[in-house]
Structure 1
Amino acid sequence: MMAGIKKGSLVRVVKEQLEGSLEAKASDVRLPSYLFDSKGEILDVNDDYALVQFYVPTPNVWLRLDQLEEAK
């Protein structure tokens, strides 16, 4: 697990890490702007993935830890 990112952490998605990834290819190719423009909260961590809740009316999403950075 990446240092500092744990349950309850506020994070941002790293655009360069998500674009072109397996996770991005498994979804709509048009990634929504809220992924990059807003903060999300870590709800759960499982191995190399974190369940992220964004404060918009959308489902939670599992993303790889290397695709996230702590929000400042």
Structure 2
Amino acid sequence: MAGKIKKGTYVKAIREKLVNSLEAKASDSRFPSYIFDSKGEVLDFNEEYALVRFYTPTPSVWLKLDQLEIVE
């Protein structure tokens, strides 16, 4: 998956991988539904994480690459 994600790719979060993740345990685990149901655009990324902007009035968020799936 990591090789396919690049800047400008549209993605959404995979609920099963995000809900029980280390990131979920380290913060509020009540994720908003829009990260699973709508698409966001990858603004930047590194080897492990992608900065995703969802089209809602909220800040962009860093999510692990393996917690994302590409949508069209």
TM-score, normalised by the number of residues in structure 2: 0.91
Offset from partner CA, 1:30-69 (integer Å, 9 cap, x none) = 1110110100000001121000000001111000000001
Give how far 1:28 is off. Answer: 1.4
**Whole-angstrom CA distance in 2 between matches of 1:27 and 1:53:** 19
Shift of residue 3 of structure 1? 2.4
Deviation at 1:4, TM superposition (A): 1.5
Q: Which amino acid aligns with 2:24?
A: A
Identity of counterpart residues, as a percentage?
64
**RMSD (Å) for aligned C-alpha atoms:** 1.2
After the TM superposition, which parts of structure 1 deviate over 3 Å for at least 4 consecutive aligned residues? none
| Structure 2: tracts of 5 or more residues without a match | none
Q: Quick one: which amino acid aligns to residue 66 of structure 2?
A: D
Shift of 1:26: 2.4
How far apart in 2 are the matches of 1:46 and 1:3?
11
Matched residues, number: 72
Aligned to 2:56: 56
Q: How does 1:37-56 map to 2 (within 5 A)?
A: 37-56=37-56
Corresponding residue number in structure 1 for 2:7: 7
Please say if 1:24 is aligned against 2:32: no
TM-score (norm 1): 0.91
d(CA) in 2 for partners of 1:47, 1:3: 10
